[in-house]
Structure 1
Amino acid sequence: MHKYSATIKDLVNAKYAHVLGNPVKHSLSPILHNAAYKYLGLPYQYTAIETDTNGAKEIIAHLMEGEVFGLSITMPFKELAVALANDKTEYVKQSESANTLVLRDQKIVAENTDIYGITQSLKYKTPLDEEWGVIGTGATARSSIIALQELGVKRVSVIGRSAQKLSVLSNRYNINAFTFEDARLPKYLISTIPSDAQRENINVVRDVKVLLDTTYHPWPSEFANEVIKVNGLVIHGVDMLVHQAVKQIEIMLGREVPAQVMFDALA
């Protein structure tokens, strides 16, 4: 249950929502959110804005002016969003990552719906009594670790290159850590690294049974292609994207939209 949801007072002057990132031109979020507004019969607009750090700070500050009722945050601004928020939900504190910003009682509130998106993508499709690994050490990796632990996965590992970052995550979340060269890697994986970085670490997924790739552009990714070759199960990053967007709509507008509305918009 989320602590924050929109009220009529919050939305009375609001007209717009945006996704901030760099790069963000490939984002499918405008299609998803605008489909939700149409389904709900609301005259709102949602656009993608590619900007730098200073631009992101300026746009986030505009939340206080009332015309923007919500912001979706993608890379590389998820940690910046945490720093600029006046209030943070528990998931944001645990992950140090925010992908959603809203204005509540004249305070900028940070929320993390990535965790929800990941849990919904995995809970009905995959065995959760196996050891799972998370590839990457950034914001989405932290959300993935928390999501797996929320699902009750007992053995979770993080896989990456930086010994320092691996050590921090291992200690923080009480999980195992492996490098890409380790011979004993989990067969159930969540990848949070971009496709071009996957190419040089393709050995990681050679014998994988299940892969959730949180990226969706380009698709199929290098990892996805490799897992498909060995008849493993690949869960498309769009699955996570849709489910986290459903939760964003709920937080921003206090309304529920079926996930199928968004999947249909992408068809």
Structure 2
Amino acid sequence: MRKFGVIGNPVDHSLSPMIHHEFAKEFDIELSYEKILSPVDAFNLTAEKFMSSGSSGFNITLPFKINAYNFADDLTDEAKAAGAVNTIKIDNNIIFGENTDGKGLVNDLERNLEQTLRDKEILIIGAGGATRGILKPILDKNPEKILLANRTKEKSLRLANEFSEYGKVCGFGIDQIKSKPVNIVINATSSSIDGTMLNLPKGLCEGALCYDLMYGSETPFMKWALKDSALIISDGLGMLVEQAALSFEFWLGKKPSTRPVINLIRERVDL
């Protein structure tokens, strides 16, 4: 039996065990997948202990994605660009680090929501770690440009400059967002976790796809987007499942079906 898990703090809320067990059923693979709570100052120790127990790999969630980046022996291009790792694979005692978050988002947008990113004007709100993880995969799809807004303007400017080698990115402060509609609005802030809503101009979402990286049936951002005449509104559950599928493929070389798992979670879990 192959052994996997997810390391985080907190980690009780994680849906990853359910997701990966559903993936395993599709291929008749026997695996275990457990939630591992790590003290905030002991990620390396926790990871090493899990590896020594016979693990083939593990996922990493908050607040340890940068720790995992530094822990890995070898990094994929996606992980290098993001500066963070959410998937570790152990092969011949080598620790490989990958970041599947951005590709997971792109797959959800393109496959499940049937959206094209090429030549689109995309506004991303927030310039933290979540945004770092999704910028390169989105830019790889050749959007017209990405508008990057953050409470601290300097942070968005630095991030825009860092990723400008991959495509057109413009950084500015949230208070500088114009009411002109864009094609896609992505909330990459922690506002939905806090249950708060950002002060955004009316008309921004008119006719747009509005996407919250957090999952939940009605996040504050989704409620606001509905009132602001968004054409399509989505939470991040699809991204969660799609990034997990990429982790599964990274570990086992098999590409699982994601739509049935997304539907299953919607039915079973009170989000």
Uncovered stretches (5+) of structure 1, i.e. residues with no partner: 1-13
**Cα gap change, 1:222/1:137 in structure 2, threshold over 3 Å: closer, same or farther?**
same
1:11 is matched with which residue?
Answer: none
Q: Distance in 1 between matches of 2:25 and 2:33?
A: 11
Shift of 1:226: 0.9
**Cα gap change, 1:204/1:55 in structure 2, threshold over 3 Å: closer, same or farther?**
farther
**Residues 133-172 of structure 1 correspond to what in structure 2 (within 5 A)?**
133-172=123-162
**Cα gap change, 1:101/1:35 in structure 2, threshold over 3 Å: closer, same or farther?**
same
Q: Distance in 2 between matches of 1:205 and 1:80?
A: 39
| 3-state SS of paired residue (1:109) | strand
Uncovered stretches (5+) of structure 2, i.e. residues with no partner: none
1:29 has 2:16 as partner: yes
Shift of 1:234: 1.3
1:229 is matched with which residue?
Answer: 227
Deviations 1:23-43 (A, max 9, x none): 222221111011112222222
Deviations 1:188-239 (A, max 9, x none): 22212221457241425763121121111x4311101111223411122011
**Cα gap change, 1:181/1:132 in structure 2, threshold over 3 Å: closer, same or farther?**
same
Q: Distance in 2 between matches of 1:215 and 1:198?
A: 11
| 3-state SS of paired residue (1:67) | coil
| 3-state SS of paired residue (2:35) | strand
| 3-state SS of paired residue (2:200) | helix
1:193 has 2:189 as partner: yes
| 3-state SS of paired residue (1:118) | helix
1:126 has 2:123 as partner: no
Give yes or no for contact 1:19–1:48 (8 Å, CA) kept in 2: yes
Q: Match of 1:189, as an amino acid?
A: V
**Cα gap change, 1:156/1:198 in structure 2, threshold over 3 Å: closer, same or farther?**
farther
2:170 is matched with which residue?
Answer: 176
1:265 is matched with which residue?
Answer: 264
Q: Distance in 1 between matches of 2:158 and 2:101?
A: 21
Q: Match of 1:235, as an amino acid?
A: S
**Cα gap change, 1:246/1:253 in structure 2, threshold over 3 Å: closer, same or farther?**
same
Q: Distance in 1 between matches of 2:133 and 2:4?
A: 23
**Cα gap change, 1:136/1:260 in structure 2, threshold over 3 Å: closer, same or farther?**
same
Deviations 1:56-89 (A, max 9, x none): 2222223542611111111211111101111101
Deviations 1:110-168 (A, max 9, x none): 00111211111222533532311212222220122112201111211211122332222
1:44 is matched with which residue?
Answer: 31
Q: Distance in 2 between matches of 1:64 and 1:50?
A: 15
Give yes or no for contact 2:84–2:99 (8 Å, CA) kept in 1: yes
Give yes or no for contact 2:193–2:214 (8 Å, CA) kept in 1: no
Shift >6 Å, 4+ stretches: none
Match of 2:217 among 216, 219, 232: 219
The Cα RMSD (Å) is 2.1
Percentage of identical aligned residues: 25
Give yes or no for contact 1:21–1:76 (8 Å, CA) kept in 2: yes
Q: Match of 2:259, as an amino acid?
A: Q
Q: Report the count of equivalent residues.
A: 253
When the two structures are superposed, what TM-score results if normalisation uses the length of structure 2?
0.85
Greater relative contact order, per chain length (Cα 8 Å cut-off, separation 6+): 1
Q: Match of 1:144, as an amino acid?
A: I
**Cα gap change, 1:229/1:163 in structure 2, threshold over 3 Å: closer, same or farther?**
closer
When the two structures are superposed, what TM-score results if normalisation uses the length of structure 1?
0.86
**Cα gap change, 1:88/1:248 in structure 2, threshold over 3 Å: closer, same or farther?**
same
